[in-house]
Amino acid sequence: MIVPPKEFFQFCAKHVSLLRELELRASGTDLSGAEINHIVKVHASDAEEQPTFIAERLKELRILIPSDQSAQYFLMAEPVRAILRYLLEEAKPVSSEIVQSYVNKLQKLARNLRDAMAAENSTLAELALTDITQLLRNLHDALSATHVSVLAEVARFKTDKRPSSIREKYQRIIWWMQQYIAPMIDIIRIDAAMQATFTELESILETATTDALLVSIDAAERNLRLVRLTRRHALNVFDQSEKEISPLYRSLARSSNLAAGAAWALDLLRLGPFDQWAQTTVVGVFSLRKQEAFSDRAISGAVERILHNPPAPPPSINLERGSRKPAALEYRRWLNALPDQTIEALPIDDLLMWLTIQYPELETAHILKGFSTLFLDRRFQACFSADRPIQTYETRQHFIRAHPVQLRGRN
C-alpha cells in the first residue's frame, strides 16, 4: 500500500513529540501494542483525535510496522527514524567495518564497469554506473552521520553536569577512539584501500567520459564529481573528528593516570607504616636543594634541549677535486643545446613522443622542461593537434596523457 506523502507529513508535523517519544522508547527495538497505546495517551493533546485513532494512523501510515505475523509487537520504520535523526542531528556513527564494506563494493563495481567498457556492453556499464552512484551516496551519508555523532558526543561530554568518575569518562572516550576514529583513520590514509579505490574509480570514470557511444557522459561526469566530493568529505570528516576527540583523550588519560597514582599511594600509606613509606617512596627534594642541586626548571630545560637538539658529528667535507661534473650543470648544458639539436630533426609530428624516444633516461620533470623550452622558443612554431586523439607517453617514472604537438620551424 502506497502511503500518501501529504497525509504522512501532515501527521508527522502534528505529532512530533509523539514520534520522538516512540523513537526514544524503542531505540531500534520493538514495542508492544500496550506500550504504544500508553505513549499515545500521554501525548494525545488534540481533543479531536482519540488515542485509538492516533494509534491506528501510526500503523496505516506505516510509521509503525509489525515485527512478526502476530501483529502484537511493532518497530518504527527505519526511514522515519532516519528522518528524525536527520532533523534532530542525532545521527548514529558508522563503524570501520561498514565503511570497509563500502570500499570493497566500490572496488568490485569499478572492475565491473571496466570490464563492461572493455566488452563494449552498454547495458552492464549503465547498471554499474547506477550502483556506483547509489553506493557513493550511501558512503557520503555514512561519513556525515559519523561526523555528527562525534560532534554530539564531544558536546555532550563538555556540557554534561552529571557526577561521573574520571575513569567512566575516560572509558567512553577510549570506546570512541577504538571503535570509530582510529580504525577509520587507518582506512582513509593515503596508502590505504579507500584512497587506492577512489584513484582507480576516478581513472575508469575519466575514461568513460570520453566514450559517448557506450555510456552516458552526464552520468559518468556526475559519478566523477561524486567520487571527488566523497574523497574530500572522508578526509575532512575524520580529520575534524580526530581533532575533536584527541584533546579530550589526552586530558582524560593524564587525569586517569594521576588518579590511579594517587589511589596507589593512598593504599600504600594506609597499609604500611608512615616512616617506611616516607623513606622508600617520597623523594627528598628539600634535602637535594639544600645541597645546591639544579632547580627543576633548569633540569627540564636541559632535557628539552637534548631531546630537541640531539648532538651530531660535524659534517665531513671532501676537499679532493673530482673529475665528475655536477648533474645540474650537465642538465643545464643539455637544455641550452636542445634547440640546436632539434632544428636538425624538423619537422616533428609529435614533439613529446620525439623527446621520450630520444632521451629515455631523463626524468619526467626534465622531459617536460625540455618540451616547454622548445614550445616557447621563438625559432619554432608549435601547435596542438586537436583533431587527433589523446596519446599516452611513457617516461622513466610516469605515463603522460596529452594531445600531440607538432613542431615546425618559422619561415
pLDDT tens track for 346-375 = 888 898 999 999 988 888 999 999 999 988
Helix (H, G, I), strand (E, B) or coil at 399: strand
**Are both 141 and 66 inside the same structural domain?**
no
**Are both 249 and 221 inside the same structural domain?**
yes
Instruction: In whole angstroms, give the CA distance from residue 267 to residue 86.
Output: 50
Percent pLDDT > 90 in the chain is 2
**Are both 41 and 103 inside the same structural domain?**
no
Instruction: In whole angstroms, give the CA distance from residue 199 to residue 227.
Output: 9
Query: Quick check: is 135 in a domain?
Result: yes
DSSP characters over 326-350: PHHHHHHHHHHHHHHHHHTT-SBS-
**Are both 35 and 101 inside the same structural domain?**
no
Give me the number of domains the chain comprises: 3
**Are both 115 and 247 inside the same structural domain?**
yes
- For residues 260 and 389, the model is more confident at 389
**Are both 118 and 258 inside the same structural domain?**
yes
- Rounded to 5 degrees, what are φ and ψ at 314? -65, 150
Calculate the CA 261 to chain-centre distance: 38
pLDDT at residue 164, as a whole number: 60
pLDDT at residue 53, as a whole number: 85
Indicate the pLDDT class of residue 288, thresholds 50, 70 and 90.
very low
What confidence tens digit (pLDDT) does each residue in 300-332 have? 888 888 888 877 787 777 777 666 677 788 888
- Across the beta sheet with 64-66, the strand order is 31-32, 73-76, 64-66
The last residue of one of the domains, among 264, 287, 314, is: 264
Instruction: In whole angstroms, give the CA distance from residue 379 to residue 351.
Output: 15
User: In this structure, what CATH number is given to the domain that contains residue 46?
Assistant: 1.10.10
Query: Quick check: is 15 in a domain?
Result: yes
CB 114 within 8 A of CB 204: yes
Query: Quick check: is 23 in a domain?
Result: yes
Query: Quick check: is 285 in a domain?
Result: no
Element (H, E) at 400: strand 399-402
Query: Quick check: is 370 in a domain?
Result: yes
**Are both 236 and 357 inside the same structural domain?**
no
Q: Which residues share a beta bridge with 399? A: 394
Its domain, for residue 337, covers: 327-409
**Are both 122 and 228 inside the same structural domain?**
yes
Average pLDDT over residues 247-262: 60
**Are both 82 and 114 inside the same structural domain?**
no
Query: Quick check: is 282 in a domain?
Result: no
**Are both 139 and 165 inside the same structural domain?**
yes
**Are both 47 and 156 inside the same structural domain?**
no
